[in-house]
Amino acid sequence: MQRLLPAACLAFCWMAALSLAAQDLQVPATVRAGSAFTIPTSGSGSATFYLIGPASRTKRQVQMGQEIQVKPQEVRSAGRYLAIVRSGGTNRSVSFYVLAAAPASLSFLAHPSRIPVAQRGGIIGVTFVFDKWHNLVRQPENVDFRLAVNGGPPASQTVRSRDGVAWLRMNSGSKAGNAKFVATLRGIEETRVIQQVAADPCHLQIKAERNAKGVLVETAPVRDCSGNPVSDGTVVTFTANGAGGLSTVDVPIKKDIAQAELKIPGPATISVASGVVMGNEVKVGGQQ
């Protein structure tokens, strides 16, 4: 028993020393992408330092007992890293996470590029927040969205990002024109342009008068329900119901109005429509 005790003690001391040698290294609690930091070491002699990250690998000789300098370019990518110091057949290691740096850019998507006015929730805006190293900034940030047409009141909303993404739905405005859709974060600004166009015609009105060739029928300036001029090219349908039966003609709007000449010899009732929107009716007499 007395012979075994020194051997057991020797084994225990060897295991304790090995455990001490293999203990983890110490790194800062928080490491930001592109930030230099140091890893303290103890002991003496040369060692090999390995730094393994999501997008890089580093290997170099270091001196034990001195701090290991980790360079900014070695930790630019956010994610999990493994630092290893190999000395005399013994490894010391620590794993740590590098977080994204401060926001530096926004990727801003806006949909659609063209939309009628007064559409509830019709516009979608999505931003992705990145740091200067193109890492997604996952910590919450306040992103300000603003939508405005020249001469019209702006609409704005602040959205808290989640896992690097902030998105919202907005109503299109009541005024037609090119709307500036802006996303802003800490002085970083991205702008998209959305074309707001007139909605369906509203309150169609026509007048008609007979001439030598037939009946000239014409709309009043065509507007949507918000008062915006309806786009040229929008089709208006005139329908004549007379002794000869029913006849229709489709005419595009030009310079806010639509007009047509109908070959109607006798009395008739003329109506107007555009899509599902109906207008007034007028009656015309026969040729004199």
Q: What is the pLDDT of residue 223?
A: 94
**Contact indicator for 265, 287 with CB cutoff of 8 Å:** yes
Q: For the domain 105-197, what is the CATH superfamily, name and number?
A: Macroglobulin (MG2) domain (2.60.40.1930)
Domain-wise residue ranges, the chain: 4-99, 105-197, 201-284
The average pLDDT across 103-121 equals 96
pLDDT of residue 24: 67
> Cβ distance 206 to 217 under 8 Å?
yes
Q: To the nearest whole number, what is the mean pLDDT of the chain? A: 89
CA 41, 45, 46, 51: dihedral to nearest 10 degrees? Answer: -20
4-99: CATH number: 2.60.40.2950
Chain segment 231-250, per-residue pLDDT in tens: 999 999 999 998 878 889 99
Tell me 102's DSSP state.
S
User: What is the H or E stretch that residue 116 is in?
Assistant: strand 114-116
CATH fold match for the domains 105-197 and 201-284: yes
Residue 205 — very low, low, confident or very high, per pLDDT cuts 50/70/90? very high
> Is the predicted pLDDT of residue 11 greater than 80, yes or no?
no
pTM check: above 0.85: no
Alpha helices in the chain (DSSP H): 4-21
* Structure confidence by residue, pLDDT tens digits, 13-66: 333 333 334 456 899 989 999 999 999 998 899 999 999 999 999 999 999 999
Of 8, 70, 61, 65, the closest CA to residue 38 belongs to 70
As a whole number, mean pLDDT of residues 173-183 equals 94
**Cα torsion angle, 116, 117, 118, 120, sign:** positive
Confidence band for 285, pLDDT divided at 50, 70 and 90? confident
Outline where DSSP puts E strands in 198-276.
201-202, 206-211, 214-219, 223-224, 235-242, 245-252, 259-262, 268-274
Q: Does domain 201-284 have CATH number 2.60.40.1930?
A: yes
